[in-house]
Copies of this chain bind each other. A is one copy, B any other.
Amino acid sequence: MTRQQAVEGTIARCRQQVNDAIQEDLPVSQPERLYEASRYLLDAGGKRLRPTILLLSADSLADAVPDAKPYRQFPAADSKQVDVLSAAVSIEIIQSFTLIHDDIMDDDDMRRGVPAVHREYDVSTAILAGDTLYSTAFENILRTGAPPDRSVRALSELATTCTEICEGQSLDIEFESRGHVTPEEYLEMVELKTAVLYAAAASIPAVLLGYNDAVDPLHSYGLDIGRAFQIQDDLLDLTTPTEKLGKQRGSDLVENKQTLITVHARQQGVDVDSLVESDSVDEVSEAEIVEAVGVLEDAGSIEYARQTARDFVQSGKERLDVLPDNEARERLFDIADYLVERDY
């Protein structure tokens, strides 16, 4: 078995556990339409990378083989038992709630290959489905059976994470109408909008299981790989064929989104706003995108972004020195690599 097969197998097994737990922890109750809408995006799929990181982090801390100990009764540092799967579901619920609300704000029609919730249902239902998921995530993280002081700390981290995600989304919207954004400002936005949820996923098991010394390093690991994940997402938007991407290649350029690539290119004097004439993804031609990507490559902006992502992955992996040397830690290394090596 190659290393890649090993990590893909682990991700698949964790995903299955998370999917089953979502069914258990988020039953469709009354009012049915509200709960169906809340489950709609969760049921549409997703890689479950964040909850997988949470479960592997727990495994590594407890020096357990991945997926060998029951995640619902997982051994804590002090021989108590904690339902880390419930915490993993919380993280996925928060992710889902933010996507539902973001899609309303960005007026995006599709998500995970299905209509966005506000398209499948309506805007009111989508707002309310997101709000329901929000509190459900907090309810779920209180059901782990961890001692109260650790539950309070985990919840506090989750609440702060949500506030920061909102701040990040607000900056992202603001940047769309701003000409000049520095790489530092862009990376701060990415930290808030994307990376903090990876940080919560990686560090919350250390909180809940009572491995206090590992909390901050795991948090930093999550921040670093979360930043790398977002930069890779920005790169894929430019470099992946439309069919594979599931949406128009170069749509960030068309929609005037700031990315680390465009922010760097502007610093190099590239007139980014004129790279693509069309301002609709339905009108832009493949040739226009290819030419624009060529300009960004010549400016060194593509390579700059690639190198920045690689540096973050390297930095994130070094944080894992705090963990025992075991198979689960290897998988956390692999996931870090996977985030910048994936091609979709």
Q: Are A31 and B160 in contact (CB under 8 A)?
A: no
With a cutoff of 8 Å between Cβ atoms, the chain B residues found around residue A104 in the complex are 123-124, 127
Task: Compute how far the CA of A160 lies from the CA of B138 in the bound complex, rounded to whole angstroms.
Answer: 9
Query: Chain A 283-325 against B: per-residue CB contact (8 Å), 1 yes, 0 no?
Result: 0000000000000000000000000000000000000000000
Instruction: Select A152's contact among B101, B135, B151, B159, beta carbons within 8 Å.
Output: B151
Cβ of A265 under 8 Å from chain B: no
Binds B, one of A67-75, A78-86, A164-172, A256-264: A164-172
Which of B30, B128, B155, B167 is within 8 Å of A105, CB to CB?
B128
Q: Is A229 an interface residue (CB 8 A)?
A: no
Q: Mark interface residues in A128-153 (1 if CB within 8 Å of B CB, else 0).
A: 10111011101100100001110110
Is the beta-carbon distance between B149 and A135 smaller than 8 angstroms?
no
Are A135 and B166 also in contact (CB < 8 A) when A104-B127, A142-B159, A155-B155 are?
yes
Asked if A135 and B162 sit within 8 Å, CB to CB, the answer is yes
Copies of this chain per assembly: 2
Interface of A is mostly: helix
Within the assembled complex, what's the spacing in Å between the Cα atoms of A91 and B171? 27
Binding site for B on A (CB under 8 A): 30-31, 33-34, 101, 104-105, 123-125, 127-128, 130-132, 134-136, 138-139, 142, 147-149, 151-152, 155-156, 159-160, 162-163, 166-167, 169-171, 173-174
Closest A-B pairs by Cβ, 4 of them: A135-B162, A148-B148, A105-B124, A34-B170
